[in-house]
Structure 1
């Protein structure tokens, strides 16, 4: 008779094998969980003090996955399919980002002053075309913005990366092919990326030393973080040959570096983002490298079902958490009721956004849409159990949030002054 531990290990092994067949990394989803929860906790409680380095983890993961995808796509025809890449990215990013922009602006009209709503509208317009980071980089108070859309600076940088990076990979690939050395395509791509990383890191060091406020939001000062992940993708063949014995050690060492970054780095220090961001970037790099080929054993922290599910929600949770903090903070005083309301409402919106906006539209095709409409017309449309569970979970979380909001002490204190949100560009958060 098998023990519970043996059954768990067998189930975990099957999950890893299934994920490998689908070209899906469980440990990377767990790393996304670490990133988004670190950012969320820092924004809500100001703890851990280095929590916003979660954004740096996202950048490294993105660089690795996007470059690996581009290299795979180019193996058969020999060049990158730009049309397919951009269409895939558009479906992955735009629906959820656009919906959150619209809902945030609509909610702002209900709880903010007309002047603040005007500022939110300007931020939304820039975020919609993914250039919000440049506004914050040029604004001397950007690092202290209380705009409910301030967090779109990171989304903007990622979208700029998506726009330019395939062209860089394509150029390096064509250069290798023109020299009649298609077998050396990865080496050519790696060399180009290496030069890009060196140039970007040099610029980041200079910008951090001379213009610290703008360096945080500067795309060119952040490009090296994507590049580190991209270099790992080009070295996947060599990384896959790392002995299995060392993989768990590498993965846990990477988490240790990230943990040190979360609790000991101060993003207000003159050395951030460069050189101090090197610490979490290297930590993320170790985790990524350890899972190339086959995910490491004994990495339960990143690969368990809870961690990977939160990792699946990470994009939606990142999008909704900051508007919820700011807008609820405009009508509630800081208390345990405020924290419960923010946590439950943020999670409810993230679950709903992931299951009913992000995932369906990412996987949508004209054939699927046509089949769905036909099934609805014929009365045989079937809602999956996971969607039902997600709907129930979102409603329960939202209900708990509304109850917590209704129970807030200031609602029944006639002497308490109403909550006021100060100027959207005059308090702290990144």
Structure 2
């Protein structure tokens, strides 16, 4: 049987690789592991009696899972919900199927943003065990990663008749760097929301995302789109779009057939990123012992004292513990000899150092809150600096400029990959027929 040529630059779907961990089966395992981790977070909140947090996470997991099951059952050539079978189909054709991409899309746009916002914020208020803290940190990472993949997927699909793997084939380095930035940006958003909401109140921080949704609608209106109101409403439901902006594209201007609200300059939603982070930071450093208004939980203490107790003091305790560990770390080596042999006895010690803990926070909660603060302090300024660079040096991002050469190149590569997948499917069908005849 003739060898099917692989399109230049494209890496066909493969089963599994250890270094780095990748492959279609690894992706499926992570998809299932994320679901299990959501259950662990739900259990964490239930054990602490936080029914609202557990209920919200369960709700969004169901809103993501149930439509995915129904959609895959209808669209898959297997005519059933079978992620493992769908992964095998992807492996056989060398290209992810539309059903597989749709399964991941639901996780990236519905489940990841909601659990990524609720989980870390709720966990920052609890006394966590090490397992619970690790679960919540992983939840933040996996949500940021999924949201980054969803953002890039939406940009490519709105800008060209292609998929992300076609863009990777023609611009591998730029696509990889973009993915890293998007991941860091969403991690910054989730961590900053958790810190600001714990210091203030979710009802104080959520308007920042409502402002982002309004900015998406304003950018669409600026471009003359009649769908600006629908896009603002859609951005309220898809909070990931309100975070990063709908029109903030790196590679492509939205094509003519894309929804009208996707059109418009990116500088309008980009400015809202600065407004949101600056406003949150300023409010966190105010001293609000009686909250903002005398209404329910909005009258709880907010501002700098809460920031100090929940995040600054835990961070100081963690840094002191690290300094203690590094300064008291020692290894004692004592030779032991007898008539026939000589051996070395090693002993490892850290002096009087212990795990960090402050106030009413457990060691795991202290470390978890410190990680949230560290992510926010490091990644938010980095994200803002990159946004400034994009506004200054990337006209596609700032003003929705055209990039027809890249668009044609990516669409041509997509056609090559589609032809490759069809040939692989035909070859797989021929092999199946031959095996049946042999039997």
Same fold (TM over 0.5): no
Computing the radius of gyration from Cα coordinates, the structure with the larger value is 2
* Structure with more relative contact order (C-alpha pairs < 8 Å, separation 6 or more): 1
